[in-house]
Every structure is written in C-alpha cells, then in structure tokens.
Structure 1
C-alpha cells in the first residue's frame, strides 16, 4: 500500500509551494499528542531525508518517515471545503478511534 493524495490536496500544496518558491513537497507524519494518543503532522519539506518513503501523485511528493508509515499506511490526504471550514483531511484506514475534537486518534 501507499500514501495517496487527492487532486484537490495536490493543487493546494502546489500553490503553497509556488508562493514559498522552495520545497520538494509535504512531509506527513504522526506524533504522540492529544487525548487519543496520536496526532498528524503536516509540514512543507525543503528536502528529503535519507530514510524517507516518497509517494507522488499529481506532481506532488508526500514524504513519510518509516516510523510514521506504520500508522499511516493506506492514508489518503485530501483537502476539503465545508461551509466556512476548509483544510486538509486525513482518510486513514488504520484509525480505530478519534477524540471528540478531532485532533488526535488511536490505531
């Protein structure tokens, strides 16, 4: 399996990379946090690390470290607009439970 990115998310990332004028893609990871145990980390990547797994769709690279990949395998990165809210959405098939505020999850 792999990490995938929707066309909407890729377009959003590409526009931010263009305005930054640097970067090779986005880094997706997890960290210990919140009431459910883990939280997503999404940031721009200026270069790939030696051990990164790189997944590419629609011209956008998603870089994931090996430890995070254990929790993210099969995840789809999407970008949605719902009413006044917009942002990245993580469709992770490994999630067993999430906290009420949606900031953290358990696998």
Structure 2
C-alpha cells in the first residue's frame, strides 16, 4: 500500500463528513476538522496527526491519536490531506495495519460536558465499550 495524498473535493459541504469519493479512509466531520486544525496549529510547524489502534481497552482494541513531526511518516503509511472549514490544512497519517481496523471510521467532535471530545464511529466494530474509546472486531 503506497502513500497517497488525495485532495479534498471542494464541492463537498463543509457540514458533511468526507466520503470515500475523495479517497479518504478516515471520515472527519466539519466540527472535528475545526478542532483538529486548531490543535495542529498549537503543536507547531510541520506536525501531522497519527491515528491508529492498539491492543487493550475494555473491548480489546483502543483508538490512538497523537501529533508527531511529519518526518516520522514511514513507507507504507497512508497520508490524507484535509482542509478545515476555516481553510486550515492538516494531514492525518495511519499505518496499514491500523487502517484495516478503522477504514471508513468517522471521527467527530462534541463540546458536550458529558461524553464530549473526539468520538469514533467505526463500521468495522462488532462491539464497543460504553465510553467509545475501545472496540472489538
């Protein structure tokens, strides 16, 4: 699997999540894109968001998200370019093994006092925990 950098289709509404038509395996809602773009700016220049999975959590696998320098991208990583509704650009990186478990996942963001923060909706999950941060396939 080679790295790709598809561009965002400007005809896609900023209120709707990205769809597979633009080649992205991780769908990000406009609200989550705004929050991620803000966090990315705070992290400094040339940072990317790495998403993935690891063993552990209530249901067997946990989601991971962390910023890292762009030079940490390795051969085989999938790289997706996003543009937030405010025009800020950022990149999301995922290793091929994690992508098998989260391809088609939607990442959303909520400001609710209870259950707020980033929320994952994973079509590959057969079971999720109550807090939504771990899953089973």
Q: TM-score, normalised by structure 1?
A: 0.86
Among 77, 81, 93, the residue aligned to 2:111: 81
Structure 1: unaligned runs, 5 residues or longer: none
Tell whether 2:81 aligns with 1:56: yes
Q: TM-score, normalised by structure 2?
A: 0.69
Higher strand share: 1
Q: Deviations over 1:11-60 (max 9, x none)?
A: 11111121221343211100000231100000013112222101222233
Tell whether 2:17 aligns with 1:17: no
Alignment length (residue pairs): 107
Instruction: Tell me which structure has the larger Cα radius of gyration.
Output: 2
CA-based RMSD: 1.7
Instruction: Give distance in 2, aligned partners of 1:81 and 1:37.
Output: 27
Q: Deviations over 1:72-95 (max 9, x none)?
A: 110111111224542111111111
2:68 match: 45
